[in-house]
Amino acid sequence: MSVARDVLVTIGDVLRLSGDLMRYKVQTETRIIKRVVNRLTMYAAVFLASVILAGLGVGFILYGIFVLLARAIESAGAAGLILGFVLLIVAILTAVMGRIVFNRS
């Protein structure tokens, strides 16, 4: 009777320790996942802020080019058309080059 009782107590202890170990593993993995998600969120926020600032910078550069071009040819409409077509051509060339690069890999 004593041996059977000891076996049952030992099995109960093993199950309890196994449950505790499993709970600890889940808590550890949860902390790791939360840390990774927090880092990714921070990186995404910083990246978005830098993209917005870069877009503003490019906008001001393009506006400066527009003003200089408009003064040089003395027509704001023509300067807008010229700058617009140049940007369109640059965008098309960039898309074509990107397609070529991504199709190779």
- pLDDT category of residue 20 using cuts at 50, 70 and 90: confident
Check whether 17 has a pLDDT greater than 90. no
Q: At what angle do helices 2-73 and 76-104 cross, to 10 degrees?
A: 140
What pLDDT does 58 receive? 93
Question: How far is it, in rounded angstroms, from Cα 94 to Cα 87?
Answer: 10
- pLDDT category of residue 4 using cuts at 50, 70 and 90: confident
- pLDDT category of residue 11 using cuts at 50, 70 and 90: confident
User: What's the pLDDT tens digit per position in 30-86?
Assistant: 999 999 999 999 999 999 999 999 999 999 999 999 999 999 998 889 999 999 999
Tokens 């877009």 map to which residue?
55
What pLDDT does 105 receive? 64
Domain boundaries defined on the chain: 2-104
Question: How far is it, in rounded angstroms, from Cα 33 to Cα 81?
Answer: 51
